[in-house]
Structure 1
Amino acid sequence: MLRPRIIPCLLVKNGGLVKTVQFDQPKYVGDPINAVRIFNEKEVDELIVVDIDATVQSREPDYTLIKNLATECRMPLCYGGGVKTVDQIERIISLGVEKVAISSAAVSTPELISEAAARVGSQSIVVVMDVTKNGRNSNRYEVCTHNGTRSTGLHPVACAKRAQALGAGEVVVNSIDQDGTMQGYDLDLIREVRESISLPLTALGGAGSLKDIAGLIDLFGIIGAAAGSLFVFKGKYRAVLINYPSRAEKDGIASVASIASVASGGASEE
């Protein structure tokens, strides 16, 4: 049976693992390789790792770090950060990474999506949309790039539709406004994107509990439920503790997805 994917998202800055709040205030929380080892033990469904400085600093992806992550990782790995060319994507895939995430390049050079999909396969190309309502028009969702510092004028629905048309294999919608708040996903944003495309969709930004993940899946069925703070912090004081739901907890969430899928007439992705 198709199951929802519960996906930790790790942010890397200067080689260290950090967590942000609304794409600001990066807090060091540990070593990314050590976090991967712990997630291996917890049998994580999938892992997203993003170098949040690479694009802003206009530098190449850190291939040494990527190789070390891929060598250690025993679950499907998606890497993003500083990716601008098909050659970079091929090199990252050759290091053992299953998926490559592109964000700013998907906006500035959207043809990269189709070129990369033709070279390595659509299943390996993930388009990440960082979205806010605090841009030029506070009543309208807008895709931003470069850690949320550059407005694009693009609505996430238009961006997602273009990604699908160009051959992307998956879309990640990341709420800048909810990032690190642990106050729940932006369900309105997710709904708009979910209804506009048939690609696998992953939601990121705001999850503060397993109830938030179960609620997301209850509404949308088979979907990727990604989170950062939820899987690196514990308790109201946010003590650093790498964690992940147990098999029994995941089975309970999967049963919610099964019921939601039947109610909506079948699975909508993957």
Structure 2
Amino acid sequence: MLKKRIIVCLDVKDGRTTKGVKFLDNVDIGDPVVMAEEYYRQGVDELVFYDIMASARDRGPTLDLIRRVAETIHIPFCVGGGISTVEDIRNTILAGAEKVSLNSPAVRNPKLLTEGAAIFGNQCIVLGMDAKKDPGMPSGYRIYVNGGRVATDLDALEWAIRAERLGAGEIVLNSIDADGTRDGYELTITKMISENVGIPVVASGGAGKPAHMAEVLGPGKADAALIASMVHSGDYTIGSIKADLAARGIPVRR
């Protein structure tokens, strides 16, 4: 079994790291540059940096902040938020990101996935998906955009399959229902999408303890687990999480 990746997410609003529950009631929790450096020191495998207001405010990525984070870490670094053109992708990668996460812009312009993959390689193009339970959809889950604020007509499973064909090299699947709750990942949709695409799937939303991560990283499920609250709170370190997962038989990078 391939080793599983542990990824820390930094949601950024107005230049500060923020955290909420189900995309609501966000509070300031620190400086993203300082936090990125600390998680790198602890041994995290990758970092994801999301500007959660960029798409809603119709502006581009915050390149200066991206450069400052990239200068402090030497691990894969993915950036999302406000990246809506090929030029935005180019500028973000030149600022120091290895990957870009395309969420709302990919829904509005699916060709961006294809164009980005053709120019930069599909390993650089990550589809960000914000999904919420909806019994009216074929898979039972609907895609939302603009930081989970706006519902679309897209079915989550259909969009994941289509995005892979368009050129996405990885999917970060965030459950709006589980986000920030620390009650565990949304296993049903994670397993469904993992079984129906051939690219890595990163589970996001709901991690509260290593046992939750072990559940979602089991056979046939996610390739990586994205975490935020459980480390931002100080309850766990990257080292303690990896030790716990290894003890549970989950292969992790040490």
Q: Which residue of 2 aligns with 1:223?
A: 223
Q: By how many angstroms is 1:252 displaced?
A: 3.2
Structure 1 residues 135 and 73: alpha-carbon distance in aligned structure 2, compared to 1, 3 A threshold: farther
Residue 58 of structure 1: SS of its match in structure 2?
A: coil
Runs of 5+ in structure 2 lacking a partner? none
Percent of pairs with identical residues: 36
Instruction: Please say if residues 218 and 257 of structure 1, whose CA atoms lie closer than 8 Å, have aligned partners that are also in contact.
Output: no
1:243 maps to a residue whose letter is: T
The alignment yields a C-alpha RMSD, in angstroms, of: 2.1
Q: Secondary structure at the match of 1:55?
A: coil
Matched, 1:243 2:237: yes
Q: After TM superposition, where is structure 1 displaced by more than 4 Å over at least 4 residues in a row?
A: 134-137
* Structure 2: distance between partners of 1:105 and 1:5: 26
CA change 1:218–1:140 in 2 (3 A) is: closer
TM-score (norm 1): 0.87
Instruction: After TM superposition, give the deviation of residue 134 of structure 1 in Å.
Output: 5.6
Q: Which residue of 1 aligns with 2:49?
A: 49
Deviations 1:202-259 (A, max 9, x none): 0100011001001112243661111111120145xxxxxx832335335335x3359x
Hey, what does 2:115 align to over in structure 1?
Answer: 115
**Alignment match, 2:97:** 97
Q: Deviations over 1:122-156 (max 9, x none)?
A: 0000001000126976x931000001111111111
SS in 2 for 1:19: strand
Counterpart of 1:251 in structure 2: which amino acid?
A
Deviation (angstroms), 1:191: 1.3
Change (3 A) 1:221 1:160: closer
1:190 aligns with 2:185: no
What are structure 1's unaligned runs of at least 5 residues?
236-241, 259-270
Aligned residue pairs total 251
Distance 2:171 2:133 in 1: 19
Distance 1:155 1:40, change over 3 A: same
Helix, strand or coil at the partner of 2:12: strand
Asked whether the equivalents of residues 80 and 102 of structure 2 are also in contact (C-alpha less than 8 Å), the reply is yes
TM-score (norm. length: structure 2): 0.93
| Paired letter, 2:237 | N
Distance in 1, Cα, partners of 2:111 & 2:160: 14
